[in-house]
Structures are given as C-alpha cells and as structure tokens.
C-alpha cells in the first residue's frame, strides 16, 4: 500500500471566460491503508483532486506525493472508478475487467491466473456467473460492481473513487456501500473517495475531509469514530447522526463562502 500527501496544491483552469481558480493551498494526508472521503460544495475542486492524485493533471503549485515520490504522470499502482462505469460493449464483463492487466505490464499473471483473479473479484461483489455477459445485459448497479472489479484487478496500492455510486438508486447505492466495505476487508489498498453523499462518507471512511468553497482548500476534518465492523444501522446511531450534522453545517459554510466569493 501507499500513503498520499498533498502539500500546498494550487490549480487553475484557463477557460473562455478567464482563469478559474479551483484549488488553493490544499493540504491533505492519507495514511498507508487509510480510507478518506472528500466532500464539499459543488465546484470546489473535488474531481480535480482525483486527477491530480492519479497523475492525469499536474498542479500549478505544490506537490502531490505517493509513497514519498512526486506524481508526474499516471502510475500503474493506482486504480480508479467513476460515476459512469464506462464498460466497453464489444467486450464481455471478464474482458472489461481484464483491461488494466493488458495495460499494466509486469503483473506476472498467466491466462489461468487472470481468469481466477476475475472470478475471485466477481464473487466478492456478487456477480458470479456473469463473466461472459455484455455490459448492456447488466443493470446499472451490476455494471458499477464490474467497474469496481476492473479498478482492483491489478491489485493497486491506491484506489480513487470519484462518486462511483452517485447515479444509482438509494437501495442499490447502500448495497454497494456494503460491497465496498467487504472489498476493503479483503483487498488491501489506500483509498480516496469523492462523494456528495455525507451518509456514504461516514459509513465508508475512516476520516472525512470537507473542502471549502471554490477555490477549494482543507476547511474541516472529521474522524469517523465508528466500529470497524459496521452495518448500515450504524448510520442511525447518535454518534453518526452527530457527525452528519457537523458535516452538513460545514458544507453550508463552504457554500456560503463560495457564493460570496463569486459575487465579489
């Protein structure tokens, strides 16, 4: 596994209407094996943050470090899953999941071991027997399960989740939260989750980081002091309800600051 350190990061996009400053002196640390959720007002730079950690963007200022090395481009030890699963219709589910192993060299798995790895992951997410199906034959929740398998097939040290459950209905979303916790128990990785769902952040994460309104910086950090072996009912406990109230208040503060900033 790897740790993530983001130090004094600033980033600006050049747009038709002028510079758009999205991150400002952002500091964030995710320890080796930790699961951290990042929340904040819409437009505060959360998705930009994922691109910076993944090496798809380079910050204008500051450093993004993985396991003590500066991120200068995409890295083979990082897995990603997004709100849109982006599965290729001309490939079977198994072939879609295997795609990272075709790209990442040196994984050391022969054809039999690759098939076993896919079967192992599909069993974890409840998709046994769907190896030869096409994406169009699966529901939205099933496609997202396959997307998670694809993100983990090469055993990445770092997993980046950019609102992977945001487009799903409430029941499917909660079911996948449980799946995600089981994946974390069986697959060892450091994780950064971007989400708009505060309940999701509290249920899945060890720590929740609230970004301020654009330009995003670290506004508030909430340690999630809940049992490691937790069910969905934990979200109705007083401790979780109190954390959710604090996070909602912080989001409101960030939104107000962003609105004031845009009006100036």
Tokens coding 27 = 């500091």
Whole-angstrom CA distances from 39 to 33, 124, 230, 256 are 20, 27, 21, 15
Would you say 30 and 36 are in contact if contact means Cβ atoms under 8 Å apart?
yes
Average pLDDT, the chain: 90
Q: What share of the chain in percent tops pLDDT 90? A: 67
Whole-angstrom CA distances from 138 to 72, 92, 101, 146 are 37, 11, 23, 10
pLDDT surpassing 80 at residue 116: yes
181-188 contacts at long range (C-beta below 8 A, 24 or more positions apart): 181/230, 182/124, 183/124, 183/125, 183/148, 183/152, 184/35, 186/124, 187/124, 187/152, 187/155, 188/1, 188/33
Residues in the chain: 264
> What tens digit of pLDDT does each residue of 37-92 get?
999 888 888 889 999 999 999 999 999 999 888 998 888 889 999 888 889 999 99
Sorting pLDDT into bands at 50, 70 and 90, what band is 264?
Answer: very low
pLDDT surpassing 80 at residue 210: yes
Burial annotation 229-249 (CB, 10 A radius, 16+ → b, else e): ebeeeebeeeebeebbeebee
Whole-angstrom CA distances from 239 to 91, 232, 243 are 45, 13, 6
Higher-pLDDT residue of 207, 102 = 207
> What tens digit of pLDDT does each residue of 141-190 get?
999 999 999 999 999 999 999 998 988 889 999 999 999 999 999 888 99
pLDDT at site 105 = 66
Would you say 11 and 57 are in contact if contact means Cβ atoms under 8 Å apart?
yes
Sorting pLDDT into bands at 50, 70 and 90, what band is 107?
Answer: low
Peptide bond into 35 cis (omega under 30): no
Sorting pLDDT into bands at 50, 70 and 90, what band is 111?
Answer: confident
pLDDT at site 123 = 93
Q: Can you tell me the mean pLDDT for 223-245?
A: 94
pLDDT at site 234 = 95
Query: 64 forms bridges with which residues in the sheet?
Result: 6
Structural domain boundaries of the chain? 35-55+75-210+219-246
Q: Per residue, what are the HEC states of 224-236? A: CCCCCCCCHHHHH
pLDDT at site 19 = 86
Query: How wide is the angle at C-alpha 172 spanned by C-alphas 167 and 174, nearest 5°?
Result: 100
> What tens digit of pLDDT does each residue of 184-203 get?
998 889 999 999 999 999 99
Sorting pLDDT into bands at 50, 70 and 90, what band is 262?
Answer: low
pLDDT surpassing 80 at residue 219: yes
pLDDT at site 106 = 55
Top-level class of domain 35-55+75-210+219-246: alpha beta
């Amino acid at each position: 596994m790897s740790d993530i350190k983001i130090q004094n990061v600033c980033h600006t996009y050049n747009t038709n209407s002028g510079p758009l400053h999205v991150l400002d002196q952002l500091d964030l640390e995710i320890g080796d094996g930790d699961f951290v959720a990042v929340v904040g007002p819409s437009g505060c730079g959360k998705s930009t943050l994922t691109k910076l950690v993944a090496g798809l963007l380079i910050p204008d200022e500051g450093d993004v470090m993985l396991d003590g090395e500066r991120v200068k481009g995409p890295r083979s030890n990082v897995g990603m899953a997004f709100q849109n699963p982006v599965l290729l219709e001309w490939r079977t589910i198994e072939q879609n999941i295997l795609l990272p192993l075709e790209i990442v060299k040196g994984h050391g798995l022969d054809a039999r071991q690759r098939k076993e790895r896919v079967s192992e992951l599909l069993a974890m997410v409840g998709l046994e027997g769907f190896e030869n199906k096409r994406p169009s034959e699966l529901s939205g929740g099933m496609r997202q399960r396959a997307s998670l398998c694809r993100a983990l097939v090469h055993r990445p040290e770092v997993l980046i989740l950019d609102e992977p459950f945001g487009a799903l209905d409430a029941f499917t979303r909660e079911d996948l939260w449980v799946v995600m916790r089981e994946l974390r128990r069986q697959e060892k990785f450091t994780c950064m989750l971007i989400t708009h769902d505060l309940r999701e952040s509290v249920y899945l994460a060890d720590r929740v980081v609230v970004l301020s309104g654009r330009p995003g910086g670290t506004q508030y950090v909430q340690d999630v002091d809940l049992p490691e072996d937790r069910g969905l009912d934990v979200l109705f406990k007083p401790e979780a309800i109190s954390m959710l109230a604090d996070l909602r208040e912080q989001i409101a503060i960030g939104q107000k600051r962003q609105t004031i900033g845009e009006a100036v």
